[in-house]
Amino acid sequence: MFVYEKKLQYPVKIKNTNPRLASLIISQYGGPDGELGASLRYLSQRYSMPYPELKGLLTDIGTEELGHLEMIGAIVHQLTCNLSEQEIKTAGIYPTAASGFPWNAASMAVKGDLIADLTEDLAAEQKARVTYDNILRLSDDPDVNDVIKFLRAREIVHFQRFGEAKRTRWRVTKRAAEQNSRKSSKMVACGCLTLKSMVMGAHPLTASFFRFPQCGHPSSERSCHSVRQSKGRA
């Protein structure tokens, strides 16, 4: 559930109209690296995210991107509010990339895989930051630049938060893998080297089905005893 606060995240107060600048900034509304795609990407990725803290992060950032979409809309509106319909058509101001391609759902880029989605999110934030950098190079309106600098700074913060999430989850996953590896090593400590490869490669259900309490090794007691006896005779 979302709670809507009827104010912009950062004030937008532009004095002068500029259709050329609006046609560039509209890319961050409906372009491939814009706020519309970003908000839908994060709010869709959260459904397949298995960890509550990352699901919350995607919800937070996805919601903020909706606020950024609102700000871009306010910028474009104020840059074009006194133009005629023909002037707006001539400027090409509609949800599209700067190259002219209209928005499409491919920009959402949702794979349903933890690492793939977080890596995509990191790249998306950097691409959005570059787009804002390019807008600042082309804009000479201080009222516009003030808002764009705020949006650019937020893209950097989002990048940092996604990076922290990926590193934290990687450490947790790595630690769990190391613990599982130590458990597997204890399971084959009985000396049954013949079946060690079976243990490491067995399906978990198969391993639990063949587990015996004496040595903890997912094999048969006879196999383990035979190895011990052969070692004793040697």
**Residue 54 pLDDT level (bands cut at 50, 70, 90):** very high
Within 13 Å of residue 146, how many CA atoms lie on the same side as its CB? Answer: 9
pLDDT digits (tens, 9 = 90+) for 116-174: 999 999 999 999 999 999 999 999 999 999 999 999 999 999 999 999 998 887 666 55
pLDDT at 215: 44
Closest by Cα among 33, 58, 32, 24 to 44: 58
| pTM (whole model) above 0.85 | no
Three-state secondary-structure class, residue 96: strand
User: Does residue 65 have a pLDDT over 90?
Assistant: yes
**Residue 32 pLDDT level (bands cut at 50, 70, 90):** confident
User: Amino acid letter at 218?
Assistant: P
pLDDT digits (tens, 9 = 90+) for 177-196: 556 666 555 544 444 443 34
